[in-house]
A = this chain, B = another copy of it.
């Protein structure tokens, strides 16, 4: 009875069997990771939060790492869904959709710190877990697909950039900005702009470097006016 003061009361409430412990544990772990970081969360804590003994979780997860992996797994799936929704198959136009994906990346890092931690900061052996790796690659595939479409719009007369390389570049930008400026204490660095603005400008400058017009309209549309530039009008 050491693991829970009101064990008996709780027991009365839910009976000997929890009924949905696996889900409860995942949720508890998510909350704990969000609070104390991926390193701080303990298996025992999750059990306590779910109202079961410290041994109970072992019926659902081999060990602490498997629970963490499960969370990362779900994180990647949710990440993929989020990015896919933001991309929306490139509607209404490729560039607009692309910018939306960038913001979605940052939003995810900020709104789902627990998932983000488990996915990128927990030190999990990503390559040792095929399922996890596959989930990770499906998420990246969204970015890659978007880059593919963008590359296809490459202005005539310029060499067409490899879409995979573009995707890796964009990914690294989004990940770098998210990791450095959009999470936890890091977010407190005094920036001259929001992480979203920072990333958007970065991507726009990059795309311009590839020869894309960067006035926020679909590249297929003709330019109507000179853009002010990604960092605002010079004064």
Query: Are B192's CB and A229's CB within 8 A?
Result: no
Q: Among B127, B179, B202, B210, point to the contact of A179 (Cβ < 8 A).
A: B179
Task: Tell me the dominant secondary structure on chain A's binding face.
Answer: helix
Q: Which segment of A24-32, A86-94, A117-125 sits at the interface?
A: A117-125
Given pairs A159-B233, A165-B192, A205-B209, 6 additional interface contacts (CB within 8 A): A123-B184, A168-B181, A168-B191, A172-B202, A173-B176, A207-B209
> What residue of chain B has the Cβ atom nearest to residue A117's Cβ?
B123
Q: Among B168, B174, B192, point to the contact of A164 (Cβ < 8 A).
A: B192
Query: Are A162's CB and B127's CB within 8 A?
Result: no
1/0 per residue, CB under 8 A from B, across A139-172: the answer is 0000000000000000000011110110011011
Residues of A within 8 A of B (CB): 37-40, 117, 120-123, 125-128, 159-162, 164-165, 168-169, 171-177, 179-181, 184-186, 188, 191-193, 198-199, 201-202, 204-210, 214, 229, 231, 233-234
